[in-house]
Amino acid sequence: MTSLGLAAGLLAVDPVGLGGAVLRGGHTPAARAWVHAVTSRLAAPHRVRRVPPGIAAERLGGGLDLSATLVTGRPVLEPGLPALAHEGALVIPMAERLSTEAVGLLTQVMDTRSVRTERDGVSAVRPAACALLLLDEAEPDEPSVAASLADRVAFDLRLPPGAADPVADAPSIGEVAAARERLPGVHLPPDAVSALVAAAASLGVASLRAASFAMRAARAHAALAGRDLANGDDLAAAAALVLGPRATRLPLPPEDEAPPPPEPPPPSSESDQAAEPPGAEEERELAERVVDAATAAIPPDLLALLAAGAAGARGGGRQGDASTEGPRGRRVGTRRGDPRRGARLDLLATIRAAVPWQRLRGAAPGGGALAVRPDDFRIQRRWRPSATTTILVVDASGSTALNRLNEAKGAAEQLLAASYVRRDAVAMVTFRGAGAEVVLPPTRALARAKRALAGLPGGGGTPLAAALDCIAEVQRQVRRAGGRPVVLILSDGRANVTRAGTGGRPVAHAEALGVARRLRADRVEGAWLDIGPRPSAVAQEIADTMGLRYLPLPIADAAAITRVATLARDAA
């Protein structure tokens, strides 16, 4: 059975316990087939609700029922979509575009399994225990589903390219129904919890929910197989589906995890010889099997990043800055305000705000003119992404030119092309000899950036403090223009030229640390990619002082440097 078919069956068996899934791969017939495979097998398929893109918070959290309120003359609340999907599922296409407000509301629903509606002096709490089917349709270089939502669902699935029917082998509706009835009586063996927790720790899975989801998936897998006690096959399948896609590192070989214990002294008698606890060998074998199953399920592209040591830079992307003024951007909600100041009036929200007060204002129930006052006015809140400027800082000094300048140039050119595709601006700072130079102010002109990079000479000292000064100045320019600067530094960090252009490694290093502290206070974002022949302690010290993520890449080529830098930029 394929992982997609198995995940669909497990979700249908225990939708609330497993929370749901993130399905990556775009809006395709295969994605629709997978969603149908899950929802058609639920115990309450009639309680499946689809969340429209750009949904207002009132539709999710519940709001005022306008028609009922006008008829009765008193506030009447309508339930939100999670309450309507109780014991069913919410299907959320384009989940990567959910507003921050919608993400916060959904995480609260997942934590409390209820939805609280509070509007205009009335409140209600309704049960909302449902699964989330999050369809991530983002391109590879675009922000993905919010990490807070992805952490609250069990599965992170990817559609294979060109898949026509990814769930042809999913369990049948009858098999799922029988497993659902059997599930309350299914138990885990005593060593299952320790094996799954050890596997999560070995793969660098920091979320405490992951191990809990794996335990629930193992019980559901055993129920599908007709077992009342989960075994090693159930634990391995659960680890592959839940822990593998969440891995942030490769497990160490058994001999590298801990040094071998010293040889014990020979026992003085047979009674002094301690025997190994019963079942210890079986417990170790089970733990190793679970780790192997999870490792084998790591997606190939993630496996390559783990091998390069860069998975920690993965992130859910950025959502940008919210703006409540002006007509531009995507609508994300409303707030009380004055439409005469340039914002758009939200007519329906204004009416909703005015309706509960009609009786007090003398209006007759069910008819007559609506009495609207200035306090009722609601204006639209709009979201637009902030313009990002990638400040690429390239070390062209002698130490880098001797070792990695060609790779740095190749990586920089690929980063420039990626920034152009994302419609980001790019600035470039280079440093060598006696000083640093902004060879490219913030621009979207890719050809100009490539020419500046191609003509970059190498050699000379490393004036790192001067380069950090340039970063500070460019960063201030970007922020004054309303942009968001992200810094990527390609250097080994071995400063040996002071601001005055004179030699002296201790003074140059101290000056660089001083500028790094000021940049940290200025909230610099980004990453330091150490492209020296071996990891440098001084580079890590400066990166830590600046608050940047330090990533040593002693043997990476231009393509590997580009992948790591892109992940670091998106996670900033």
In tens, the pLDDT along 342-400 reads 677 777 778 777 877 777 777 655 556 778 888 888 887 776 666 788 888 888 887 66
- Running DSSP on this structure, what letter comes out for residue 229? B
Q: What percent of the chain has pLDDT over 90?
A: 25
Q: Looking at the whole model, is its pTM more than 0.85?
A: no
Is 113 domain-assigned? yes
Q: Are residues 30 and 74 in the same domain?
A: yes
pLDDT (0 to 100) of residue 175: 93
Is 357 domain-assigned? no
Q: Are residues 108 and 209 in the same domain?
A: no
* Higher per-residue pLDDT: 234 or 406: 234
pLDDT (0 to 100) of residue 215: 94
CATH of the domain at 461: 3.40.50.410
Give the tokens for residue 101: 């407000």
Q: Domain boundary residue among 127, 147, 171?
A: 171
Q: What is the pLDDT of residues 162-194, one digit of tens each?
A: 666 767 788 899 999 999 999 999 999 888 888
Q: Are residues 150 and 198 in the same domain?
A: no
Q: How far is CA 74 from CA 49, 58, 375, in A?
A: 28, 18, 18
Q: What is the pLDDT of residues 310-325, one digit of tens each?
A: 444 344 444 444 444 4
Q: Is residue 330 over pLDDT 70?
A: no
Q: Domain boundary residue among 316, 331, 358?
A: 316
Please classify residue 162 by burial: count the beta carbons closer than 10 Å to its beta carbon, then call 0-12 exposed, 13-18 middle and 19+ buried: exposed
* Higher per-residue pLDDT: 411 or 353: 353
| Highest mean pLDDT (candidates 57-61, 146-150, 245-249, 307-311) | 146-150
Q: Are residues 142 and 78 in the same domain?
A: yes
Q: 96-100, 251-255, 272-276, 289-293: which has the minimum mean pLDDT?
A: 272-276
Assign 134 a pLDDT band (cuts: 50, 70, 90): very high
Mean pLDDT across the chain: 79
Q: What is the pLDDT of residues 429-449, one digit of tens each?
A: 888 888 888 887 887 776 776
Is 39 domain-assigned? yes
| Highest mean pLDDT (candidates 28-42, 395-409, 413-427) | 28-42
Q: Are residues 166 and 233 in the same domain?
A: no
Q: Are residues 47 and 141 in the same domain?
A: yes
pLDDT (0 to 100) of residue 153: 95
Q: Is residue 219 over pLDDT 90?
A: yes
Q: What is the pLDDT of residues 531-561, one digit of tens each?
A: 777 888 888 999 999 998 888 876 556 666 6
Look at the chain and report how many structural domains it folds into: 3
Is 301 domain-assigned? yes
Q: Is 211 left (phi over 0), alpha (psi -120 to 50) or beta?
A: alpha
Q: How far is CA 57 from CA 46, 63, 99, 121, in A?
A: 23, 9, 9, 18
Residue 6: CB partners within 8 Å, gap ≥ 6?
170, 221, 237, 241
**Single-letter amino acid code for the residue at 134:** L
Residue 500: CB partners within 8 Å, gap ≥ 6?
none
Q: 3-7, 274-278, 318-322, 480-484: which has the minimum mean pLDDT?
A: 318-322
Q: Are residues 148 and 42 in the same domain?
A: yes
Is 290 domain-assigned? yes
pLDDT (0 to 100) of residue 7: 92
Q: Are residues 418 and 292 in the same domain?
A: no
Question: If you average pLDDT over residues 244-258, what whole number do you get?
Answer: 67
Is 374 domain-assigned? no
51: closest CA among 135, 150, 110, 114?
A: 135
Residue 402: CB partners within 8 Å, gap ≥ 6?
none
Distance of CA 288 to the CA centre of its chain: 28
Neighbours of 311 (CB within 10 A): 22
Q: What is the pLDDT of residues 449-490, one digit of tens each?
A: 677 767 667 778 888 999 999 999 999 988 888 788 888 888
Please classify residue 67 by burial: count the beta carbons closer than 10 Å to its beta carbon, then call 0-12 exposed, 13-18 middle and 19+ buried: exposed
Q: What is the pLDDT of residues 116-126, one digit of tens each?
A: 877 666 778 88
Q: What percent of the chain has pLDDT over 70?
A: 76
* Higher per-residue pLDDT: 352 or 226: 226
Is 352 domain-assigned? no
pLDDT (0 to 100) of residue 144: 83
Q: Are residues 421 and 447 in the same domain?
A: yes
Q: Is residue 404 over pLDDT 70?
A: no
How many angstroms separate the CA atoms of 242 and 11, rounded? Answer: 12
Neighbours of 366 (CB within 10 A): 10
Q: Are residues 146 and 235 in the same domain?
A: no
* Higher per-residue pLDDT: 284 or 39: 39
Q: Are residues 415 and 444 in the same domain?
A: yes
Is 350 domain-assigned? no
pLDDT (0 to 100) of residue 324: 45
CATH of the domain at 293: 1.10.8.80
Q: Domain boundary residue among 112, 142, 171?
A: 171
* Higher per-residue pLDDT: 373 or 65: 373
Q: Are residues 155 and 201 in the same domain?
A: no
CATH of the domain at 56: 3.40.50.300
What is the residue range of 162's domain?
Answer: 3-171
